[in-house]
Amino acid sequence: MNRNASIFAAFALLVATTASAESITFGSTDISAGDSWTETSSYSSNVSMSGVSHEKNVTCNKSSRVLAAGNNNRIESLEVTYADATFGAVAGKRYAVSASGNSVDVSYANGGTPSAEEVAFVRSDNAHLNQFRALDRIFGGNTFTVGTSTSPHAKDAEELVNLADGVELRGMALTLRSVSGTGADRVAKFDISMTLGSGVTEKKKGKAPAAGNGGMTMTLNGTLDVAVANGRLLLLDVNGPISMTTRKPNNQAIADGSGSMSMRVSYSGF
């Protein structure tokens, strides 16, 4: 085969491969009162700074039931029952979690006020009342093609991953890699990559970082599984490196740190 024929054959193969790439369209992620699911999650981090290691591990197994939902797929109130958790005080208890403006209120489902420590844990663990809205905006009714990447709107991406206070999402990319299953059980598997950060680490708009601040950056990569029928999240599994810097009040860096973080959250029962 001569050179021109080889180039033509390679081009024809590329066109055929591109043309045959599978495309899928997700159903709508409608949420309503009575919807329920179970959730199992684990978070771990290990950071070493100035020769000292800091390790954190959090696990949780819970079931959730929607008590009220708005017409924009935002959960207004939720009943959460903990089977077990790293914070043992919540195990076996049922909580009512509701949106109150930009905050989240927590009480016992059968009435009464939990301890401040319980409230803090449950509030942080269930701050993702907008997650279904984000899922619907990212996936609902939208078509994706295997091998194609997309970057969700920043606000939707933040609601999807339920960031902790003080952490910002600086970028996210989703690449559809495969589709498995048949009929109502089809699952789309995405590669997910995201960069997160906290603290002020560089000059902005000509102003120096605030005195005494430091910064942290995380780059997490992994997989995201989504149900094709209703666009609901089935699995988020990511891990990656952490880098940290602390500063003196005059903004001079005094210590660097590094480590790793992993996060895995699985959902079932939809």
* Model confidence at 158: pLDDT above 90: no
Domain 25-268 bears CATH identifier 3.40.50: no
Assigned token pair, 46? 């290990």
Q: Is the dihedral of CA 85, 156, 238, 142 positive or negative?
A: positive
Spans of all domains in the chain? 25-268
Of 87-96, 240-249, 251-260, where does the model show the most confidence?
87-96
Query: Looking at the DSSP assignment, which residues form a beta bridge with residue 48?
Result: 53, 258
Residue 243 near residue 216, CB atoms below 8 Å: yes
Kindly give the pairing relationship between strand 36-49 and strand 253-268: antiparallel
pLDDT digits (tens, 9 = 90+) for 159-218: 888 766 667 888 899 999 999 999 889 999 999 999 888 764 444 444 444 444 557 788
- pTM for the complete prediction? 0.79
Helix (H) or strand (E) holding 45: strand 36-49
